[in-house]
């Protein structure tokens, strides 16, 4: 994602801010690869926002512009359940994995100058909890009346949003049971989220044999 055209893909909009934020770390520790650094940053961010520990191991190598992937390989928020399966099945993930990974939407918000969508998914966008699932199940969602792309808003406060791909999780009969499970059990969500994020972060990486036994787990600043 360092090089155009991949860095300019719509699904990567806004990531330039994160890349710039990590540049001083790269300058101080030039021996770490960008790909390891970005994954490490993700691991630390999840934990600092009170999410679960994600085991980490280094070993990723950096590519050049020739390694840029084509556009359209990441999820399109305007699509539905079939599209989600097309994207994630290709990478070896199943329905439960898709729902667990979607829990990352508990964090952050959409920005009109990046994705075109607007608003946070939850009332605590800097803390990782199962509120994303709870709100999907318990709240009533309606189409937002505005000039932007099609998205949902909560009927109660009209301050939260859901994307079509989010609503697809409760409309699909195979996705919905996992949404309901995580809505009721934050510990189960954390356990499954940690497991599937670990797999995502290591997908396709040619690690040295046996290095899976040497993964590191870090303490966050709020751990006692």
Cα distances from 174 to residues 77, 97, 152, 160, in angstroms, run 19, 12, 21, 25
pLDDT at residue 14 tops 80: no
Q: How far apart are CA 122 and CA 50, in angstroms?
A: 15
The answer as to whether 223 is a domain residue is no
For residue range 56-103, what is the model confidence (pLDDT) as tens digits? 999 999 987 767 677 766 789 999 999 999 999 999 999 999 999 999
Q: What distance in Å separates the CA atoms of residue 224 and residue 221, rounded to the nearest whole number?
A: 8
Instruction: Report the CATH number that the domain containing residue 90 is assigned in CATH.
Output: 1.10.420.10
Q: Are 214 and 202 in contact (CB under 8 A)?
A: no
Say if residue 137's pLDDT is above 90.
yes
- Alpha-carbon distance of 56 to 191, in angstroms, equals 15
Residue 63 domain boundaries: 6-72+201-214
Q: CA 163 to CA 78: how far, in whole Å?
A: 7
Please report, for the domain that includes residue 210, its CATH number.
1.10.520.10
| Same structural domain, 112 and 58 | no
Bridging pattern class, strands 119-120 and 109-110: antiparallel
The yes-or-no verdict on residue 6 having pLDDT over 90 is: no
One domain for residues 135 and 49 = no
Q: How high is the pLDDT of residue 5? A: 67
Are 151 and 55 members of one domain? no
Task: Label the pairing between strands 141-143 and 152-154.
Answer: antiparallel
Averaged confidence pLDDT in the chain: 93
| Cβ count within 10 A of residue 145 | 7
Number of domains in the chain: 2
- Domain-embedded: residue 219: no
């Amino acid at each position: 994602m360092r090089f155009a055209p991949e860095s300019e893909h719509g699904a990567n909009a806004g990531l330039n801010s994160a890349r710039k934020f990590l540049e001083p770390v790269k300058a101080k520790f030039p021996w770490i690869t960008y790909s390891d650094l970005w994954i490490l940053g993700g691991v630390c961010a999840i934990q600092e926002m009170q999410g679960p520990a994600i085991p980490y191991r280094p070993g990723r190598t950096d590519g050049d512009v020739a390694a840029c992937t084509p556009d359209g390989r990441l999820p399109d928020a305007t699509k539905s359940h079939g599209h989600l399966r097309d994207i994630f099945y290709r990478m070896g993930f199943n329905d439960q994995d898709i729902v667990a990974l979607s829990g990352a939407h508990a964090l952050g918000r959409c920005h009109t100058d990046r994705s075109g969508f607007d608003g946070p998914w939850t009332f605590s966008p800097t803390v990782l909890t199962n509120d994303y699932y709870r709100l999907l199940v318990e709240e009533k969602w309606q189409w937002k009346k505005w000039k932007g792309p099609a998205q949902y808003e909560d009927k109660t406060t009209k301050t939260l949003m859901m994307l079509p791909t989010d609503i697809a999780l409760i409309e699909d009969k195979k996705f919905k049971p996992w949404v309901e499970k995580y809505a009721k059990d934050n510990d189960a969500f954390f356990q499954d989220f940690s497991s599937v994020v670990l797999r995502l972060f290591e997908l396709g990486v040619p690690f040295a044999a046996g290095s899976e036994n040497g993964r590191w787990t870090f303490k966050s600043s709020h751990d006692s």
